[in-house]
Structure formats: C-alpha cells, structure tokens
Structure 1
Amino acid sequence: MKKTIILMMAMLWVLLVGCDSNQSVESETPKEEVPVLDVQETKNEAVDSGEAVKTQDVSRNAAWCVYWDPSPADSADKYSKYSDLVLFGCIYSEDYSLYIPDKLYELALKFSNKNVSSGQETYLSFINDVMHADGTSTQKSTDFLKAVLSDPELSDRVIDDMIKKAQTFGVNGIELDYENVHKCDGFWAEYLDFVEKLYSRASAAGLKLRVVLMVATPVSDLNFIKGPQYVVMCYNLYGNHSGPGPKADEEFLKKTYDKFKSIDAGYALANGGFEWGPNDKAVRSLTAADAAALAKEKGAEVTRDGSGALTYSFQSDDGKHTVFYGDEQTIDRWSSILKNTANGNVGISLWKLE
C-alpha cells in the first residue's frame, strides 16, 4: 500500500510541475504559495462523500505553513497541536492563471510524508499577489481584485482553478486571502458575491472555506454569509507602515474582537516582528528566532513590554535601531486575551509556523 501511495505521489509531482510555472517568488507578508498533502483517510465525511460542507467550528486553531521557510515540515511537535494547517500559498500570473512556486510543491510533499494527526485538516491558500513577466511582483493587487470581481466569467474561471488545485493537492479546504478590498472603492458587494459563489461551489465539491479579513473591513456595513470560517488578521497595529511598536496589544485585540464578533470570526496572531532604524523607519521584518539572534549579536538588553511583546534597541553606524517582536509567550498572552474576551469560544490562527 505504501509503495502504491509513493508511486502515485511521484506521478502527481511530475503532473503538477509540468502544469505550472517553475519559477519561485518569495514574500514577507502573510500569504503565498502551497503544495500537496496526503489525501488522508482522516478527512471529514463531507469531503469524502462530496456532500455539502456544514458550518465550521469557530473554535479550531490553525497555523500557516509558508513555502519559503524550510523548517515547518520538520517540526511535527509544533504543527501537531493545530487542528488546521494552511499551506501558503497560491498566487497569480498577469493573465489571472495560478502561479505556483516550486517551493510550494516541495513543502506539500514534505508534509505528505508526515502523519497528519487524526482530525487535523489542511487548506490551500489563494492570495491576490501577482507575478509579472519581468520577475517582479505586486502584493495584494487591487488591479487583480477589480478585474476578477467585476467580470463574472473571469471570477468563474478563478473559482474553477481554486477548486481544481485544491482537489489536486488533496486538501480539505480552500483559504481565500484576497486583501485590500477596502482600497477598491465600492467593490464590497462584488467581493461578497464572490465569497458566496466560492462557498457554494467549494461546498458542492466537498471543500471547506476559510476567508481571511483585514481589520479595516467595514463588517457592520456588510452582510457576510454563514458557512465559511472568517479569520481576522490581528497583527498590524505597528509594522512597516508605522514607527516602532508591538504587532498587537490588549486594547487593539479587544476592539478587534468586538468589531467582528457578529460573524463568529476567528483571529490571527503573528509572531516575529520588525526592526526600525533612525527616524523610526522600518528596516526589515524579523522572525522571532532572527530577532533573538540579533539581540545577542548586538549585546542588547531584551525586555518584555506591557503588550507582552519583546523589545530592545541598539546603536548602529547610521543611528539607533529598535526592535519589537513576539515569541511563543507573546502569542500565549494575546491568545488568552481573545479567549477570555470571547468566553473561550474563539479560534486562533498563527502567522506563521516556524
């Protein structure tokens, strides 16, 4: 049986690589490209039978596994505690076809060789990043959103591609991570129609749906359908758009929960952080491990601030640098704030598994 599965996976690898572009793109932002998981016997009955998927459990915890990080697939002790794993992720070419980096396939194959825990489910993420012919890319493209959301035939094609790719990868569901809709001037109705159409067709194909939302989403003015699992990104309080500070704090988390509680949303938290240089300008993003290593290299004193994040500063040739980042203890604190605010009934997603 094992030999048969391995042979089938090898054939699938050849087929997948032959059908998509073979270049690779990397991004520092939450959402990118993903590979192939084992078609598990632990999938839910709806996925196996093709029956419509029921409303999803809002308390499930998830973690994103990104294709450019080689470590997640080797960390079984880390990903085993999550009920959902999100392979991140599929982006697009200029002609609106899917662009799948080689490393996404490699990540999927690594996971396929692991024994996914019973009850654990996998999602393939689709992001509105666009890879251009000259090798550059546009992250969270509003031009892509406007084109897809305004053209019924194109949106049908994009949805077809999502479903086919998710089925090819053998995952339990689709994650829709189309960001910056609020910058598209009046496209919320079209976006909600797209979500409803995607949910209906994905459900008919036995696939679940996660929908990632930005904090800027005007949720009180919109009518989100029931059924998909909505996940709000709670980690943009400070970042490359601002001066130094933590990705979240208690006030921000409670306000965000209160804003989105009407749709039974889950909430995404992020580890790692940013380094800011002189004039409080963001220099780069850092993983938690990189931030800790930098502090050691610079001999900086690391403290934990009131938000639960870690912070330190050091002098460089160009002036003072400041770092804020979150580690496992930070995530535990932020998770506790959300769960206590929600009386325990809330799902937490981690950006990203390291």
Structure 2
Amino acid sequence: MLPQPLQAQVKLSAWITDWQWETGMTDWKQLGDGLEEIKLFAAYFNHEDELYLTSDFREALPAFLEASKEGEPARGVLTIVNDRFHTDGTAKQKDPELISRLVATPESRSQHIRQILDMASQHGFDGVELDYEKVRKEDGANLSALYEELYERLRAEGLSLRIVLEPGVSLSSLKLPEGPDYVLMAYNLYGGHSGPGPKADYAMIKELGGKLRQLPGDHAIALSVGGFDWAENGKAVSLTEKRAVELAHASPDEPKRDPDSGALYFEYTDDQGIGHTVWYADGTTLAGWMDAAGEAGISKIAIWRLGEMEADTLQKLSEIRQQSHHE
C-alpha cells in the first residue's frame, strides 16, 4: 500500500560531492530555493590523520559557497568522512582505526576539533557534518564525547553540527549527546553488496523513522537517488538517475514500478550479450519514500546526492516542499 502524503512541513537538504560537483551545482540551481541546507562532501584525511581536501573539492568550493549565499540562501555545511588517503593517492574508505586514534584521548579529540574549527571558519561554512562510519563498538563512548565536545565548540562560534548515522546503528549502546542534528541513512537495502532490488522500501523507511524518533530532537532521514545495475556475471555498478533512464531506453520493456518500494526496475542485454537488471528511484519513488518517513513522524529529508538527476525529479522535490509549506 502506498504511504499517505506528508502532513508536516518538509525540510530538504542535500549533498553535493567533490567528484560530481558541476552537475550537482546544476541540479541545485534547478531546485531553486528548495533546500534549507546544502552539504559539500567531503573533507577526508591524509596519511598523518590531518584533514585533507581533494583538488576537486578546492575547485568546487568557491562556486559552492557563492551559490549558498545567493537568492534564498541555504546553509553551507562541510561534510567530513573517515576516508584516509595514503601517500600514493590510494585511500582506505571508512577507516575504523583512524577514528580510534582521533577519539582516543581528550588531547587527541581536542586536536581534531581544532582542525575542524580551523577548516570550517577558514572557508566560511555555516556548519559541520561528521560522517564517521564502521566505527568500532569499543570507540563508541569516546566518539560520543567527541560529538559533545565538538558541538559545544561549534555552537560557541555560531556553527551547527550534524552527525550521519548508519542504518544499523544501535541507539541503546551508543549514548548520543543531545544538541547535534542527526541524519539516519535509509538506504543500502540492496546495492553493491547484494543481488538486485531497491535501495530502500516503505517498510525499511518507516522502521528507521521509528528508530530516529528515539532520539530527542527533530532529526532527518537520508534518501538515496539513482540506482544500481546488476550484471548477470555478478558485477553491480552504481548509477545516477540520468544514466538509469538512458539504459531504460535499451530495454525492450517499459520500467515497472515495485509496489513495496515505489522503485522502478527493468532488464536489458548489453553489447556483449550479458543480461542486466537495473533498479532506480525517480521523483515518484522519492515522493513515496518521503511520505513513508512522514508517516513515521520524520519531515526532515536529506538527499544523497545531487548530480545527473532528471528534471522531472527535481521539479517534484520542489513541488513537495512548496505544497508542504502552504498547507
């Protein structure tokens, strides 16, 4: 059964990534003043555990910050992720050992906080978001201490703090501080780690919405656009929405809509004769997911990520926000 339309006022935020910032900016401009907050993803770490910006990020930054101040301004937020770059340019993604070192002692946390504050103020961001994933259970208490200490320091400077939580986070064992905004990832139901299926479905979103309500405050659910292409030979590739639509034109059949998730799916055969299955989200999918979040009492929605979205989808997102603000 399709979820009922959202009643509460929808608050939209979105990420733009350093590797796809130009098409991300294009999508942002098409959304107009539909976003309350825009996050630039991401600052990483170098081999010495210091914050590190890619050349793509540095190129994107002036345009990003200028756009965030134009028209109906959106809060410009710096996202920091625990990917660690080695001297040869390769990276370890979502490095748990890095987090262990950063949060180990009051001194190490203080040093990390100082670096974060320096970077945020140097570049004129309005807030900071931490996306620290695959953290070891034994580091939970120290990580929560970092969140609390960083929140207080940022607040003193008039800056916000947002924390990204993975879908499997245990809120009972991780004692999260009050104050920061939290955003819970509601995707990865199916993906590169599995066989074909939607990134999320209504049941998952409602369940995670209920989980998020356990935290005091008004927090967000993150929804993922685009999709995946699974080849018969077992390889799965991430797709933007535009790429999925292009591939749909190679399919003999129209995409079908899955009743449990609202996602679209189709099959096609490539030039080598290999069969593929594609699942992806369009504007109708996102609207249904947002309604499912609304049924769970969540009206703050974060979109992962802008870049190569279809014009219809961007239009639908704008309309949903406008309708909810006029009700």
Question: TM-score by structure 2 length?
Answer: 0.84
Which residue is equivalent to 1:326? 281
CA contact (8 A) 1:59 1:347 kept: yes
Which residue is equivalent to 1:238? 190
Cα deviation 1:224-273 (Å, max 9, x = unaligned): 22111100000111111111100000111111111221114310000011
Which residue is equivalent to 2:12? 61
Which residue is equivalent to 2:223? 269
CA contact (8 A) 2:41 2:78 kept: yes
Which residue is equivalent to 1:201? 153
Which residue is equivalent to 2:131? 177
Which residue is equivalent to 2:291? 336
**Amino acid of the structure 2 residue aligned with 1:315:** T
Cα deviation 1:274-299 (Å, max 9, x = unaligned): 111126x3421000011111221354
**Amino acid of the structure 2 residue aligned with 1:293:** E
Q: Find the aligned partners of 1:346 and 1:67 in 2 and give their Cα distance.
A: 27
Q: Which runs of 5+ in 1 are unaligned?
A: 1-57
Residue 311 (str. 1) matches residue 265 (str. 2): yes
Residue 99 (str. 1) matches residue 42 (str. 2): no
CA contact (8 A) 1:73 1:107 kept: no
- The Cα shift of 1:100 comes to 0.5
For the aligned residue pairs, the C-alpha RMSD in angstroms reads 1.8
| 4+ residue segments displaced more than 6 Å | none
CA contact (8 A) 1:92 1:98 kept: yes
Which residue is equivalent to 1:350? 303
Cα deviation 1:39-70 (Å, max 9, x = unaligned): xxxxxxxxxxxxxxxxxxx9632100112112
Q: Find the aligned partners of 2:210 and 2:65 in 1 and give their Cα distance.
A: 38
Q: Find the aligned partners of 1:331 and 1:322 in 2 and give their Cα distance.
A: 20
Which residue is equivalent to 2:144? 192
**Secondary structure in 1 matching 2:138:** coil
Larger relative contact order, structure 1 or 2 (CA cutoff 8 Å, min sep 6): 2
Q: Find the aligned partners of 1:353 and 1:94 in 2 and give their Cα distance.
A: 29
Q: Find the aligned partners of 2:172 and 2:49 in 1 and give their Cα distance.
A: 31
- The Cα shift of 1:340 comes to 2.4
CA contact (8 A) 2:65 2:124 kept: no
CA contact (8 A) 2:167 2:187 kept: no
**Amino acid of the structure 1 residue aligned with 2:40:** L
- The Cα shift of 1:117 comes to 3.8
Which residue is equivalent to 2:74? 120
**Secondary structure in 1 matching 2:244:** helix
**Amino acid of the structure 2 residue aligned with 1:205:** E
146 and 79 in structure 1: CA distance in 2 versus 1, 3 angstrom threshold: farther
- Using the aligned pairs only, state the percent identity: 33
CA contact (8 A) 2:255 2:266 kept: yes
**Secondary structure in 1 matching 2:15:** strand
